[in-house]
Amino acid sequence: MPEREHSAIEIADNVHWIGALDPDLRSFDLILKTANGTTYNAYLVRGAGGAAVIDTVKEEFADDFFTRLEAVARYDEITAVVLNHLEPDHTGALPELMRRAPQAHIYVSMRGLKLLQAVLKDDLERYAYTLTNTGDSCALGDRRLSFVNTPYLHWPDTQCTFLEDARLLFSGDVFGCHFCDVRLYNDLVGDFRFSFEYYFKHIMRPFKRWVLEAVDKIEPLEPVLIAPAHGPILRDNPMDYVRSYRTLSNSYLPNEVEGKEKSLLIFYMSAYGATADMARSVYEGASTVSGVRVSLYDLQGGEIEPFVDLIESADGMVFGSPTINGDAVKPVWDVLASLISIETRSKLGGAFGSYGWSGEAVPMIEDRLRGLKMRVPEKGLRIKFNPTEDELAACHAYGRALAENLSGKAKPKEIDFAELQ
């Protein structure tokens, strides 16, 4: 292993990278593929009046972190520990760091306190801490670290920390990516564009509204160096990455359906044609409502990723699935499972399907939609075997009711308490 893999690396005047390399990681948080591994970046900032540690590393890499930290500072010199984000990949070494430097003052966002309690347990009582908000700062004598709250990028607790004299932004997960390269800087490492966009898409995309708010706060700082918690340090054109967050947050299928018009998507799978018949009637019923653009998709003929893009910009979606072995069919679950990467809160949802014995698919889909914080305003439709004419009329009415709800034309409903049990 080359010498520098064990060294702390000075990235700015009296600012050192003291993180850890994890080149063998192949999946992160169970949901991200990491073909290049990742890094857990932590930093030490030294000023005339103290030294600050910015973030730590995953617990199993604590030895690397402490080795690098000890190369540039003594524990009794550490006056501040700044936590930009408290997920375990950045706080794994925190309990041990605080045992070694108990005099250090912890800086954490207000939303981070509960997580800090969970990380340090009863030991937290032994340490001093300050809850930060945008504009608050921490002095290291001649240097100042100021805090920028960036909630939901990608957890509620996240913040960035700006070293004012160096115009260096310690950005936590923001502007990071899973890409391990010992050359460390964006102008030296391999081509990591795919990793950067992949990371955004899976980590930040559900919070695009918050990303745009954060970019509004970060752009005026005009950082000349961005030091994220994962992947390359951005020293070559760092503002390009800030702008790219804005672009990525505004992309993904510009809305075809605009203005007051609403978009309703109907997805289905059918084993013997019965659920397909239902889907066509739901589609025809919904299409009778003006101001709602309705689209019908057979999941047998589609790929998931484009559907997720469509769903992101839609106002409502309905899933039709037969019940097979007491469950909805896999392609429906595949789409529903993929929705964690987009914002679905308060979109309209619905479910329907044909069944033979028990018909669990519809309520299971509805539960998932509610779990995604979607509105499910109409009780889903279950029909045994092939639908009769009357049952197809019920499907038609169901589609119409959903579309009316989307368009604001639905009449107020009287709640039947029996249905709530």
User: Which parts of this chain interact with ligand FEO (CB under 6 A)?
Assistant: 85, 87, 89-90, 154-155, 173, 229-230
CB of 158 to ligand FEO, least distance (A): 8
How far from chain centre, in Å, is Cα 327?
28
Residue number with CB closer to ligand FEO (176 or 320): 176
Measured from the CB atom, is 79 or 195 closer to ligand FEO? 195
CB atoms within 10 A of CB 87: 18
CB of 132 to ligand FEO, least distance (A): 18
Q: Kindly state the smallest distance separating residue 230's Cβ from ligand FEO, in Å.
A: 6
Closer to ligand FEO by Cβ: residue 143 or 154? 154
Assign 240 to helix, strand or coil.
helix
Q: For residues 277 and 20, what is the distance between their CA atoms, to the nearest angstrom?
A: 56
Looking at the chain, how many residues does it have? 421
Contact 359, 351 (CB under 8 A): no
DSSP 331-384: HHHHHHHHGGGS--TT-EEEEEEEESS---HHHHHHHHHHHTT-B--S--EEEE
Q: Which is nearer to ligand FEO, 40 or 398 (CB)?
A: 40
Least distance between ligand FEO and beta carbon 155 (Å) = 6
* Least distance (Å) between residue 87 CB and ligand FEO: 4
The DSSP output letter for 233 is B
| Coil, helix or strand at residue 41 | coil
Peptide bond into 154 cis (omega under 30): yes
Measured CA angle at 187 (ends 182, 191), to 5 deg: 75
How far apart are CB 38 and ligand FEO at their closest, in Å? 8
By C-beta, is 155 or 207 nearer to ligand FEO?
Answer: 155
Residue nearest to ligand FEO (CB): 87
Q: Which is nearer to ligand FEO, 155 or 198 (CB)?
A: 155
Comparison of 68 and 230: residue with beta carbon closer to ligand FEO: 230
Shortest distance, position 56 Cβ to ligand FEO, whole Å: 11
**Which residues, in sequence order, are CB contacts of 333 under 8 Å at separation 6+?**
327
CA distances from 321 to 8, 35, 195, 297, 372 (A): 56, 35, 35, 12, 18
Instruction: Return the number of the residue (41 or 132) whose C-beta is nearest ligand FEO.
Output: 41
Q: How far is the CB of 231 from ligand FEO (least distance, A)?
A: 10
Q: Are 399 and 284 in contact (CB under 8 A)?
A: yes
